[in-house]
Amino acid sequence: MHHRLPEEPRVAVVGATGAVGHEFLSVLSQRRFPLAEISLFASPRSAGTRVPFVRDGRRHELPVQPLEEGSLQGFDVAFFSAGKGVSKAFAPAAAAAGALVVDNSSAFRMDPAYPLVVPEVNGEVLDRLDGPTIVANPNCSTIIALVAVHPLHAKARVKRMVVSTYQAASGAGAQAMRELEQQARDFAADQPLRTEIFGRQYLFNVFSHNSAVGADGYNEEETKLLLESRKIWSDDSVAITATCVRVPTLRAHCESINLSFETPLSEDEARELLRRAPGVEVIDDRAGNRFPEPLAAAGRDPVLVGRIRGDRSQAPGMGLDLFVAGDQLRKGAALNAVQIAERLLPARRGAATAELVGARR
């Protein structure tokens, strides 16, 4: 039996006051996700605040409720973006009570019991769900990379992928974005820069991603990109390595991606595959030196792909370089989660809307 949501689900958003939580509300509104009701939850300190939500052109102020035991009874969909600890504590009970849980934390990503999904890449796994469960939303860097690379992988099979990321403040949350803005103001006013979030100057600086570094020298972000990509592709033989850094942009991550293929794939073939791919927008203007940039991706749905060129260090057709940009808060988080739920709506509404993302030119 395939699991389907009601035509108008009852939706809960957990972590509604954070950067991704706000983006959930924006995406649900803009995509006109059908709602019987929507309820917002966050930590007790945020309880009682009101968050704006536009529905059918009308602005509403939704109250934020404290997340407590039993809070998520009676919902059809629960979007989680409140951190790994909250997800582990509350998501299983929400799923057991009948909700499709789409979790944006790392709590369940590598658990073989739960699917890890990018709808444009492996959305078919959602069609095999036989009841309410937890679906894990991948890490933002993984989502952005695979939306761009999967159309090429499906044609020529990627044997090796080398990724260098340029990650925005949005990946570390709303407070990191505010600190970067404050540092810019303080710099302009010749004031000392506050460094509470990263413990160092962020403005005019680039540094290794702020996740923990393991004994092997890889930080958690780099390891996630490796392990999650293999799980989504259902292929542990793909060789993947990554270097992840923070750059002083507010939102939208960029990635430099080098690929090695099993069978030849030309630049022109790759460009045409990407132009037709859902969720992708090709920006590859060599004459004008116009390629993906974080400002061009910010606030938008598609993953921008450019700098498409043959890798001169490999035999002709056996390798390509790409440069991509994608909004971490949208496709890297909230949009991907909403697309997961859309795919389970009656008449598979999500299958059509996901393709519209790629058609926006």
| Beta sheet of 134-136, edge-to-edge order | 50-55, 58-66, 37-42, 10-14, 77-80, 100-103, 134-136
Tens digit of each residue's pLDDT (9 = 90 or more) over 157-186 = 999 999 999 999 999 988 999 999 999 999
What confidence tier does 348 reach under pLDDT thresholds 50, 70, 90? low
**Per annotation, catalytic residue among 150, 209, 253, 254:** 253
Known active-site residue 244: no
Closest C-alpha to 246, from 180, 291, 155, 304: 180
Rounded to 5 degrees, what angle do the CA atoms 89, 25, 356 make? 115
Residue 101's φ and ψ, nearest 5 degrees, are -100, 125
* pLDDT recorded at residue 125: 97
pLDDT digits (tens, 9 = 90+) for 182-237: 999 999 999 999 999 999 999 999 999 999 999 999 999 999 999 999 999 999 99
pLDDT for 361 beyond 90:
no
Average pLDDT over the chain reads 94
pLDDT by residue (tens digit) across 314-323? 999 999 999 9
Cβ of 8: how many Cβ atoms within 10 Å? 14
Q: What is the DSSP letter of 46?
A: G
Q: Tell me the Ramachandran region of residue 40: left when phi exceeds 0, alpha when psi lies from -120 to 50, beta otherwise.
A: beta
Positive or negative torsion for Cα 24, 167, 299, 32: negative
332-343: string of b/e by CB count within 10 Å (b at 16+)? bbbbbbbbbbbb
Active site residue 153: no
The architecture in CATH of the region 142-168+207-246+249-328 reads: 2-Layer Sandwich (3.30)
Q: Which of these is catalytic: 140, 150, 153, 209?
A: 140
CATH of domain 10-138+332-359: 3.40.50.720
Domain ranges of the chain: 10-138+332-359, 142-168+207-246+249-328
Residue 137 contacts residue 337 (beta carbons within 8 Å): yes
